[in-house]
Structures are given as structure tokens and as C-alpha cells.
């Protein structure tokens, strides 16, 4: 039963991705490995682009997109419901019994290490993406590598610019320089 499986897989993503939208990325890569007929690893970059350029939380946008890829409209709905269910249960529990959870000493101790670990997980997703884009199938794509270097410099220089603009710029470069090369 695909809907039940989808719900369960995204339930786990909601439960273990800590620190917002991009933190769900490594789990999507893991999902592409265990369920390749649901989504392909190389679709994930397109999903991120769409999710960053549309309104709504990025994590939810990606869940809807991945669920849609796997099983159509109902799939998108079920994946999103799966991803938010742990939040709803945990938050209600905290609101009722724990109060200022974020001020708890043990929570702080855990986050001292959770933060760098999550940055590591996002780096992993970034490396997966970069290797698929610049080094696909052991090859090397010069045009992509140059564009990446230029964009990284620009993005770091102009931090306040909305991601949508970089995505539009990327699309224009893709059309202009005939990517993928």
C-alpha cells in the first residue's frame, strides 16, 4: 500500500529532521536510494529549486513535490501529512507538559552537537548535488564548474538577494550557455 508507506517514510523525515527545511534533504537522498521508483536523486535539485522559488516552508514544499512524484496528487497530500504529524504530536506534548523546552539544560547540551551534525548533513546533500551536477558519471563538466564558481562568489557577496533571483539567473545561464553541457 503505497500511501501507507509514503506516510511512514515522511513521518520519519518529520521526526528526525531537526532545524528546518534544508535538514530534510539528506533524508530525501536516503529515500531516493531505498525507493528509487518514488523519486530519482537527480530530481532532488529541481525540487529544491521549485521549493525555494515558491511560497511556503521549503520542507513542506519538498515533501509535497516528492510525494507527488511518487504517487500523484494524493501522494503529495499524504507525504505532507506524514511529515507534519510528528510535529503536531510533539508540540502538543511540549505545550501541555514541558513549557520552555528550549531552556532545558539537556536540550541545550544536545543542540550543541545537533547543530554541527545538521550542518554536516546539509553539506552531504550539497556534495551529492554538486557531484551530480559537475561530476556526473565520473566525468567533469567545465561549464557547470565555472558557473558554480561564479555564482558562489556572487551569492556570498550579495547575501540579502532573494534565492529566487539566483534561480532565475541560473536558468538564464542554462539557456544562454546551453546546459547541461
Partner 1 sequence: MKGRDVKLWDLYLSFFRIGGLTFGGGYAMLPMLQREVITKHGWVTEEEVLDIYAIGQCTPGIIAVNTATMIGYRKRGIPGAIVATLGEVSPSLIIISLLATVLLHVQDMIWVQRAFGGIRVAVCALITQSVITLAKKSLIDVPTILLYLAVVISTFFFALSPILIVLFAIFFGLCVQAVKRRAS
Shortest distance, position 1 Cβ to partner 1, whole Å: 21
> Grid coordinates representing 74?
494524493
Query: For residue 37, what are the contacts with CB-CB under 8 A and spacing of at least 6?
Result: 70
Shortest distance, position 39 Cβ to partner 1, whole Å: 11
Is residue 49 packed enough to be buried (19+ CB in 10 Å), middle (13-18) or exposed (0-12)? Answer: middle
4 vs 104 by CB, closer to partner 1: 104
CA 10 to chain centre: 13
Shortest distance, position 97 Cβ to partner 1, whole Å: 12
1 vs 55 by CB, closer to partner 1: 55
Shortest distance, position 4 Cβ to partner 1, whole Å: 19
Query: For residue 73, what are the contacts with CB-CB under 8 A and spacing of at least 6?
Result: none
4 vs 56 by CB, closer to partner 1: 56
4 vs 81 by CB, closer to partner 1: 81
- Give Rg (Cα) of the chain: 18
Amino acid at each position: 500500500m503505497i500511501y501507507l508507506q509514503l506516510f511512514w517514510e515522511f513521518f520519519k523525515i518529520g521526526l528526525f529532521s531537526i532545524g528546518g527545511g534544508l535538514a530534510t534533504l539528506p533524508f530525501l537522498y536516503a529515500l531516493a536510494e531505498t525507493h528509487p521508483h518514488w523519486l530519482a536523486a537527480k530530481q532532488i535539485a529541481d525540487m529544491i529549486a521549485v521549493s525555494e522559488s515558491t511560497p511556503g516552508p521549503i520542507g513542506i514544499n519538498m515533501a509535497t513535490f516528492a510525494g507527488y512524484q511518487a504517487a500523484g496528487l494524493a501522494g503529495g497530500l499524504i507525504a505532507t501529512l506524514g511529515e507534519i504529524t510528528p510535529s503536531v504530536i510533539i508540540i502538543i506534548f511540549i505545550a501541555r507538559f514541558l513549557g520552555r523546552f528550549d531552556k532545558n539544560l539537556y536540550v541545550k547540551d544536545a543542540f550543541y552537537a545537533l547543530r554541527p551534525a545538521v550542518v554536516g548533513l546539509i553539506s552531504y546533500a550539497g556534495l551529492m548535488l554538486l557531484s551530480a551536477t559537475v561530476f556526473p558519471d565520473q566525468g567533469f563538466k567545465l561549464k557547470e564548474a565555472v558557473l558554480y564558481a561564479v555564482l558562489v562568489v556572487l551569492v556570498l557577496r550579495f547575501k540579502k538577494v532573494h534565492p529566487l533571483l539566483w534561480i532565475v539567473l541560473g536558468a538564464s545561464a542554462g539557456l544562454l550557455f546551453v546546459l547541461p553541457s
